[in-house]
Amino acid sequence: MNIWICILSLSYIQFVDAKAHCQQQYVSVSLPTSELTKLYEIATWFCYKEGTTNFNNKIVHLTIHGLTYDHTYWNFPCESSTYSYTDYVINKSNGNIVVLNFDRIGIGRSSHPPAYDVTIDLNADVVYQLTEKLHNGQFQDTKFDNIILVGHSLGTLISWTTASSDSGYNRFVNGLISTGWLHKNNPIGGMGIISSMYPVQLDPKLRQQNLPLGYLTTNPSWPRQTLFYNMNDADIGIVQQDEQLKETGTLGELRTCEAANNPLVTLKIPKAIPILLVIGQNDQCFCNVTLACDNSLIIQEREQQNFISSTETYVLQQAGHSINLHLNSHDWYQIASDWTQKYFRIKQEL
Ligand SMILES: *[C@@H]1O[C@H](CO)[C@@H](O)[C@H](O)[C@H]1NC(C)=O
Ligand SMILES: *[C@@H]1O[C@H](CO)[C@@H](O)[C@H](O)[C@H]1NC(C)=O
């Protein structure tokens, strides 16, 4: 029933809603892998308010999805007026925010290097090259200088490595919106995700794609509903869509997570880069009874010693891990819009 409502609204909503316009473009990045070919393709979607002709001074949200997701996490195709982050922030800013969305390296329409090469650092290198292209005018012939990395889960971890002065990747990063990741995790929830993953070669949805060995996905017998959602705050139709849209992760990413999560990485994010941290109250990867996520003050206390720059925190009440796909996602989209306005409006008017 819900699936039908979703499919119907897919065609209907386009006409009645403030949907952003997205332009797909493949861009090449050069990456240090074990292969002879060093050039890889990244599928990107540059999204903006329909009718925009001048992109000068616009603020870019470069959105980075998590493990086993793709770009649709930030622009959900189903009931997008409720779930699409992209549509929301573009509309709410009246087009002053544009969104660059992409499939990370190894995901969906982007290239698939050997699994062991696809690490957190390789991902951060891709993000760096995208910020460089934004800065150099490779999108819309515009040189963007307000670039905010907006991450979810593993995407947040990748954005922290990108923004850290250790990496040399942070020249064009001006702000961070970091969702679905905290330094200290709930071991039981984290184990749940690792245990749920199995090789794509065994998966009914992904096995036809001939992906390299070492690419993994969530096992349908361990549903995403139990990993990423609090069903008191979610619609089963959306969870089913999520299951159908699921993507992959690599052994290289899992192997390099722990080192990237070291607070020394985030302590080297320059002070000039402000940060908004957002987590679902019932995110079982990072919260449990003793490791609470109940309000923004608790999150501030948990994280402030890991950053030197200005951090603001927000808790999306009730939500599980994948905060964009919960019923109240708009509450945090509004916080992201307000935060962007607060830190970047003045620059924009100069
Ligand atoms: C788009 O923004 C306008 C003006 O702020 C608002 O009235 C409208 O409800 C918004 N549409 C959506 C889908 O959020
Ligand atoms: C919650 O997580 C913390 C920190 O990782 C752990 O020490 C604690 O045992 C966990 N509590 C429960 C009730 O699982």
Distance 317 CA to ligand 1 centre (A): 23
Determine the pLDDT at residue 190.
83
Q: Is 317's pLDDT higher than 50?
A: yes
Atom of ligand 1 nearest to the CA of 330: 14
Q: Is 219's pLDDT higher than 60?
A: yes
Mean pLDDT of 20-32: 97
% of the chain residues with pLDDT over 70? 94
Distance 87 CA to ligand 1 centre (A): 10
Q: Is 334 in the pocket of ligand 1 (CB under 6 A)?
A: no
pTM: 0.94
Band the pLDDT of 167: cuts 50, 70, 90.
confident
Query: Which residue ranges have their beta carbon within 6 Å of ligand 2?
Result: 184, 186-188, 288-291
Q: CATH class for domain 20-25+40-344?
A: alpha beta
Distance 302 CA to ligand 2 centre (A): 14
Distance 284 CA to ligand 2 centre (A): 11
Determine the pLDDT at residue 259.
97
Mean pLDDT of 285-289: 95
Band the pLDDT of 263: cuts 50, 70, 90.
very high
Determine the pLDDT at residue 5.
52
Mean pLDDT of 224-240: 96
Q: Is 12's pLDDT higher than 60?
A: no
Q: Is 111's pLDDT higher than 50?
A: yes
In the chain, what is the straight-line distance between the N-terminal and C-terminal CA atoms, in Å?
A: 51
Band the pLDDT of 1: cuts 50, 70, 90.
very low
Q: Is 137's pLDDT higher than 80?
A: yes
Mean pLDDT of 183-206: 93
Give tens-digit pLDDT for 114-128: 999 999 999 999 999
Average pLDDT of every residue of the chain: 93
Q: Residue ranges per domain, the chain?
A: 20-25+40-344
Give CA–CA dist 163/168, Å, rounded: 8
Ligand nearest to the CA of 13: 1
